[in-house]
Amino acid sequence: MRLTRPKPANRGEPTIALINIVFLMLIFFLIAGTLVPPQPEQLELIATSEAENAPPPDTLFINSDGELMQASGPVTVEEFMAAQDEGSTIRLAADRNLAAARLIEVAAKLREAGADRVVVVTERAR
């Protein structure tokens, strides 16, 4: 008499591990997307075609009326520079409808207030 071997149990797909990985990626992208403070909605950035990409973490915004804003609200050059490190690089995001003379004036005030370098943040042209 011969005994038959039992058939090995059919192992299922390891879907739980895949679901965990997808869930962790979702959480990562949700958190990473909220780290940078948003720019004011009424601001349209200047477009450039040849520029290096740089994230604007603590940027000074200028709307088309020439008003200075930060993510927290309206600000003056003196108030903005008081919160910055001495000799730091300042990122300046200007509305494309802003007069160039006002942009140059604000950049000069930032340099006088102690900024080592002023970088104008632009939008890459398509």
* Domain parsing of the chain, residue ranges: 47-124
Please give the C-alpha separations between residue 23 and each of 18, 20, 27, 33, in angstroms, as whole numbers.
9, 5, 6, 16
Rounded distance between C-alpha atoms, residue 64 and residue 11, angstroms: 64
Residue 91: which of 34, 42, 64, 53 has the closest Cα? 53
Instruction: List, for residues 72-96, the tens digit of each pLDDT value.
Output: 788 888 888 888 877 788 888 888 8
Token duo for residue 7? 């058939």
For 89, phi then psi, to 5°, come to -90, 125
Query: Which segments of the chain have a pLDDT < 70?
Result: 12, 34-38, 51-57, 125-126
Rounded distance between C-alpha atoms, residue 68 and residue 91, angstroms: 12
